[in-house]
């Protein structure tokens, strides 16, 4: 049986690094001995436990270093979603009962934040979503308007997963603090792409995920500013300073540490390589394919992401056509695949439906080459052109 040519790995181009990234070779090298030999429980007293503990400690220092924090402030968790949950629920539960009960987030947050707010809302919390401007950036005035004396927590992501826009976190956090609220940022999409320093950002809590920066899946972290009261998300043993019970995922955490070290080095070197590739792709598409437009601010965004709408093309079909050409991209976020709902991010930016339904996210990363990008730019006009000639005009209900 003949499998399609695109199934062969050598012609595939992976441009979906905001969904997940490949494991960096150095990360794998770090993890293998931990998986093979250093299997101890980090809480055990004996040598096996001590070896595991050393891995966790080393990783904790590396992750703290990546964001300019102290190791004791890092709480390892299962990923970005758990970190977001722990931040929001942990702060909410630690708040004095019956008094201040208001949480604010931006309208373009990840579902991990938005759905958590919905649950808190059902439990009697007031929640507000702050709109974004057309460029996908929260206007500070809008946050100011949403804050009240009741506000306990503000959560605004550092970089958006779908369009890559970077939010003015320092300004927003200062605003929240003036009203006596804590500030959480989901930095899952900026870590490894932008230099991060918690003190410059001025935030109180910050979420990270390993697999978005060439680390393993199933591990992330919440940074919690020293002294902040947070109620544990899950109870059990006293791991992670009583903030996250459960035996540590030692190999995952060790891999996260290795990935954090690599990311810190890369951030130190400046990620101009990725930005140059992204710009080459973006310019190539905008010049080569008529009826294309970039969604979101093109200046204030992470260096690896571009989100482009292709007029008159169903994004779902374009994604499949590109995959059959060996090019992996996504429509919106990976989490929303298979749903009809247009991207809540593009909607919040006021994009009309035809633009939200035709938008494709390209997110670059480790391993992408100029040759790959040039090939994508080259096939794009043909692939899009084919879809456009065969597109049925949008049908209206009852037609």
Partner 1 sequence: MRIVAAMSGGVDSSVAAALLAEAGHEVVGLSMQLYDQRGDETRFGSCCTLDDLHDARRVAAVLDIPHYIMNFERQFDDHVVSNFVRDYMAARTPIPCVRCNGDLKFATLLDRARGLDAPVVATGHYARVEQAADGTHLLKRGVDADKDQSYFLFTLTQPQLAGARFPLGALRKPEVRAYAAARALPVADKPDSHEICFVPDGDYAAFVERRTPQAVSPGRIVDGAGRTLGHHDGVHRFTVGQRKGLGLSSHLPLYVTALDAASGRVTVGPRQALERSTLSASAVNWIAGSPPAAPIRATARIRYRHREAAACITPLGDDAARVEFDEPQAAIAPGQAVVFYRGDTVLGGGWID
Binding site for partner 1 (CB under 8 A): 1-7, 314, 316-317, 320-321, 323-324, 338-340, 386-387, 390-392, 395, 397-399
Q: 323 to each of 8, 353, 369, how far by Cα in Å?
A: 12, 24, 18
- In the set 231, 293, 335, 379, the catalytic residue is 335
Name which of 15 and 34 has its Cβ closer to partner 1.
15
Helix (H) or strand (E) holding 263: helix 250-269
Q: 223 to each of 108, 188, 207, 226, 242, how far by Cα in Å?
A: 21, 12, 6, 9, 14
Helix (H) or strand (E) holding 214: none
Per-residue burial over 160-169, b = 16 or more CB atoms within 10 Å of its CB, e = otherwise: bbbbbbbbbb
Answer yes or no: are the C-beta atoms of 38 and 51 closer than 8 Å: yes
In a 3-state reduction of DSSP, which class is residue 119? helix
Looking at residue 352, the DSSP 8-state letter turns out to be -
Task: Write out the DSSP string of 156-182.
Answer: --SB-TTT-BBP-HHHHHHHHHHTT-E
CB of 360 to partner 1, least distance (A): 14
Helix (H) or strand (E) holding 219: none
Catalytic annotation on 335?
Answer: yes
* Structure token pair of residue 347: 């909607």
Name which of 242 and 347 has its Cβ closer to partner 1.
347
Contacts of 314 (CB under 8 A, 6+ apart): 357, 358, 387, 391
CB of 308 to partner 1, least distance (A): 18
At 170, phi and psi to the nearest 5?
Answer: -60, -45
How many of the other CB atoms lie within 10 Å of CB of 322?
A: 22
Helix (H) or strand (E) holding 63: helix 47-66
In the sheet where 292-294 sits, what is the strand order? 292-294, 305-310, 359-363
Return the residue matching tokens 């929640």: 127
CB of 319 to partner 1, least distance (A): 8
Rounded Cα distance, 112 and 105, in Å:
12
Q: Which residues pair with 106 in a beta bridge?
A: 130
Name which of 272 and 339 has its Cβ closer to partner 1.
339
Name which of 45 and 390 has its Cβ closer to partner 1.
390
CB of 2 to partner 1, least distance (A): 6
Name which of 166 and 329 has its Cβ closer to partner 1.
329
In a 3-state reduction of DSSP, which class is residue 75? strand
If we measure between CA atoms, which residue out of 2, 36, 12, 100 comes closest to residue 251? 36
Positions marked active-site? 335
């Amino acid at each position: 049986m003949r499998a399609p040519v695109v199934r062969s790995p050598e012609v595939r181009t992976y441009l979906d690094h905001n969904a997940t990234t490949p494991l960096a070779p150095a990360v794998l090298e770090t993890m293998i001995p931990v998986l093979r030999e250093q299997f101890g429980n980090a809480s055990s007293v004996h040598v096996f436990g001590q070896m595991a503990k050393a891995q966790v400690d080393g990783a904790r220092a590396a992750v703290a270093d990546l964001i300019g924090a102290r190791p004791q402030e890092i709480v390892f968790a299962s990923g970005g979603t758990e970190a977001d949950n722990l931040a929001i629920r942990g702060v909410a539960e630690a708040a004095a009962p019956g008094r201040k009960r208001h949480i604010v987030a931006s309208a373009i947050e990840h579902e991990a934040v938005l759905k958590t707010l919905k649950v808190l809302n059902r439990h009697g919390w007031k929640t507000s979503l702050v709109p974004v401007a057309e460029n996908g950036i929260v206007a500070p005035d809008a946050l100011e308007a949403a804050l009240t004396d009741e506000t306990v927590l503000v959560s605004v992501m550092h970089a958006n997963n779908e369009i890559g826009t970077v939010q003015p976190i320092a300004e927003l956090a200062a605003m929240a603090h003036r009203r006596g609220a804590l500030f959480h940022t989901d930095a899952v999409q900026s870590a490894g792409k932008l230099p991060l320093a918690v003190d410059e950002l001025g935030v109180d809590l910050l979420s990270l995920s390993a697999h978005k920066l060439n680390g393993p899946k199933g591990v992330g972290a919440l940074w919690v500013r020293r002294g902040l009261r947070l109620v544990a998300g899950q109870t059990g043993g006293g791991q992670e300073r009583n903030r996250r019970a459960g035996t540590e995922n030692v190999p995952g955490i060790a891999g996260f540490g290795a990935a954090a070290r690599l990311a810190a080095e890369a951030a130190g070197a400046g990620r101009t390589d990725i930005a140059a590739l992204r710009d080459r792709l973006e310019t190539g598409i905008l010049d080569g394919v008529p009826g294309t437009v970039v969604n979101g601010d093109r200046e204030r965004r992470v260096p690896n992401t571009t989100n482009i709408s292709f007029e008159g093309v169903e994004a779902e079909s374009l994604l499949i056509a590109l995959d059959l050409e060996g090019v992996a991209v996504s429509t919106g976020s990976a989490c929303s695949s298979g749903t009809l709902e247009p991207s809540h991010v593009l909607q919040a930016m006021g994009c009309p439906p035809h633009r939200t339904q035709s938008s494709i996210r390209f997110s670059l990363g480790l391993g992408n080459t100029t040759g790959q990008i040039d090939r994508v730019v080259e096939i794009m006009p043909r692939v899009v052109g084919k879809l456009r000639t065969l597109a049925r005009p949008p049908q209206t209900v009852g037609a």
